């Protein structure tokens, strides 16, 4: 077999991306024996059913991973981000998760997550320049 080539594909289609993600997922399941996976997506909607924010995450390996949390400007300051986080954490607890983790930048919401009981367990200083990137975790039981 010839040596495989590397191609730059900034807009790889969804099927290719899914194939790569599945490769990682199948390896992780085989290596750990943990096969239970649950999407953990919670959407914040207004009275006209418009999307005002949401939390996108997943449960795997008895941990909740919060990939994204965002609330639109008109819905901020009213506890909506906290409600989204609590809903995801409750969902994870129902599935016997031991903890939750997420990442944020110093210019985003590190203080917000600390108020919810998360603690910084890792930091990359100067990413991006003048800021920090944080990994946070929280015990759920």
Within-domain flag for 2: no
Is residue 105, in this structure, part of any structural domain at all?
A: yes
What local confidence, expressed as pLDDT, does residue 120 receive? 98
Residue 75: pLDDT band (50, 70, 90) is very high
Structural domain span for residue 95: 14-139
CATH number at residue 84: 3.40.630.30
Rounded distance, CA 134 to CA 123, Å? 5
pLDDT digits (tens, 9 = 90+) for 83-112: 999 999 999 999 999 999 999 999 999 999
Check if the beta carbon of residue 93 is closer than 8 Å to that of residue 141: yes
Identify the band that residue 122 occupies on the pLDDT scale cut at 50, 70 and 90: very high
pLDDT computed for residue 37 by the predictor: 95
Any idea how long the chain is? 141
- Let me know: does 104 contact 118? Beta carbons within 8 Å: no
Residue 8 forms part of a structural domain: no
Residues 46-60 have a mean pLDDT of 97
- 9 is a domain residue: no
| In a domain? residue 18 | yes
Residue 111 DSSP SS3:
helix
Position 136 scores a pLDDT of: 98
Work out the pLDDT band at 14, boundaries 50, 70, 90: very high
What is the DSSP secondary structure assignment for residue 79, as one 8-state letter?
A: S
Residue 110 located in a structural domain: yes
Residue 132 lies in a domain: yes
This prediction's pTM: 0.91
- Count: domains in the chain: 1
């Amino acid at each position: 077999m010839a040596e495989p080539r590397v191609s730059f594909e900034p807009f790889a289609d969804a099927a290719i991306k899914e194939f790569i993600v599945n490769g990682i997922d199948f390896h992780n399941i085989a290596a750990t024996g943990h096969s239970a996976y649950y999407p953990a997506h919670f959407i914040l909607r207004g009275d006209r059913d418009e999307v005002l924010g949401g939390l996108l995450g997943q449960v795997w390996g008895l941990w909740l991973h919060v990939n994204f949390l965002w609330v639109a400007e008109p819905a901020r300051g009213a506890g909506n981000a906290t409600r989204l986080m609590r809903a995801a954490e409750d969902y994870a607890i129902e599935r016997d998760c031991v903890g939750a983790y997420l990442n944020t930048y110093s210019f985003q919401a590190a203080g917000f997550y600390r108020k919810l009981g998360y603690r910084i367990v890792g930091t990359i200083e100067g990413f991006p320049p003048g800021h920090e990137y944080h990994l946070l975790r929280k015990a759920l039981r």
